[in-house]
């Protein structure tokens, strides 16, 4: 049994009353004990005995038979509830069916990352593995930079021990940015592309990148100024040397300017014989 209310703000009282009206610890049937699963943009209902298969998640149920997972979208909540009842991974396509393909693919990828983060948070290992498979299959339809943007939004505070996510992002980074310079000059770490909130690690990384780029620009400007000053200082000597070389070349190329034209012609003939 799965019920969904998409507007969680305008019908909050009715949702709670619905959950309470069908929920009573005195009722014998487990199918009468319902939990209201409050997501960021909607509310779903699930039987308590199904939720009990996920102990960490079930432990958060309030005395009013509610479970607040406000950091999880209703689309991700659908995947979670579907997994509880059917045991497989299924994304509700109707919620964004009218969008263009590229936008839909990006949103479905973010939804799967949302599911993955939720599964890891509440120790639902089998669902996390299914989410990984779905993420990898959807990534091939997007540009690496778009997939990285989805990671940033869905996993703002990733677990440092998450080896799969680390390898996944490494693969995307290698595909999107062939060099450190390409990464530093990209928009993914620019301040105007940051989310409203970020981890202290990301804030430090952004600061380091910004400082590094400013320092490199200053060093480049200073280096160019020194090189230009050196060229300006040596320019008279270089020009005099170049003029001397030119005069010397003209002297030997023109027999009449040689101090001994006769011997120049003999030397020229000998040189011609040696190289023919």
What residue segments make up the domains of the chain, in order of their start?
1-71, 99-195, 199-276
Is the per-residue pLDDT at 254 higher than 60?
no
Is the per-residue pLDDT at 271 higher than 60?
no
Tokens 């505070």 — which residue?
A: 157
**What are the beta bridge partners of residue 66?**
36
**Mode of pairing for the β-strands spanning 66-68 and 34-39:** parallel
Query: Directed axis angle between helix 163-176 and helix 125-139, to 10°?
Result: 10
Task: Quick: pLDDT tens for 26-49.
Answer: 456 778 889 999 999 899 999 999
- What percent of the chain stands above pLDDT 90? 20
Is the per-residue pLDDT at 19 higher than 50?
no
pLDDT value at residue 253: 53
The whole-number average pLDDT for the span 136-145 is: 87
Q: Which residues contact 121 (CB under 8 A, 6 or more apart)?
A: none
Is the per-residue pLDDT at 197 higher than 60?
no
pLDDT value at residue 7: 45
- Highest mean pLDDT among 225-229, 243-247, 268-272 belongs to 225-229
Is the per-residue pLDDT at 69 higher than 70?
yes
Q: Which two tokens stand for residue 216?
A: 């490199």
Task: Quick: pLDDT tens for 81-137.
Answer: 999 999 999 887 655 555 556 678 888 888 999 999 899 989 999 999 999 999 999
Is the per-residue pLDDT at 181 higher than 60?
yes
Q: Which two tokens stand for residue 4?
A: 């969904």
The whole-chain average pLDDT of the chain stands at: 75
**What's the whole-model pTM score?**
0.60
Is the per-residue pLDDT at 5 higher than 50?
no
Length of the chain, please?
A: 276
């Amino acid at each position: 049994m799965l019920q969904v209310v998409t507007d969680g703000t305008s019908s909050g009282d009715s949702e709670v009353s619905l959950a309470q009206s069908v929920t009573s610890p005195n009722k014998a049937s487990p199918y009468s004990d319902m939990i209201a699963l409050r997501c960021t943009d909607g509310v779903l209902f699930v039987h308590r005995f199904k939720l009990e298969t996920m102990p960490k998640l079930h432990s958060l149920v309030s005395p009013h038979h509610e479970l607040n997972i406000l950091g999880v979208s209703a689309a991700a909540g659908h995947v979670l509830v579907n997994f509880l009842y059917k045991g497989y991974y299924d994304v509700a396509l109707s919620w964004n069916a009218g969008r263009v393909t590229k936008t839909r693919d990006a949103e479905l990828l973010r939804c799967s990352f949302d599911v993955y983060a939720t599964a890891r948070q509440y120790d639902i290992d089998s669902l996390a593995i299914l989410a990984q498979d779905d993420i990898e299959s959807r990534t091939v339809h997007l540009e690496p930079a778009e997939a990285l943007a989805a990671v940033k939004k869905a996993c703002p505070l990733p677990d440092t021990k998450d080896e799969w996510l680390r390898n996944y992002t490494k693969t995307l980074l290698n595909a999107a940015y062939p060099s450190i310079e390409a990464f530093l000059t990209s928009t993914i770490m620019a301040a105007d592309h940051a989310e409203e909130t970020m981890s202290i690690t990301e804030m430090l990384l952004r600061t380091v990148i910004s400082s590094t780029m400013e320092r490199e620009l200053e060093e480049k400007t200073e280096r160019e100024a020194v090189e230009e000053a050196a060229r300006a200082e040596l320019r008279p000597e270089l020009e005099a040397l170049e003029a001397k070389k030119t005069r010397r070349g003209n002297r030997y190329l023109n027999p009449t300017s040689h101090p001994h034209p006769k011997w120049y012609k003999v030397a020229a003939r000998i040189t011609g014989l040696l190289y023919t």
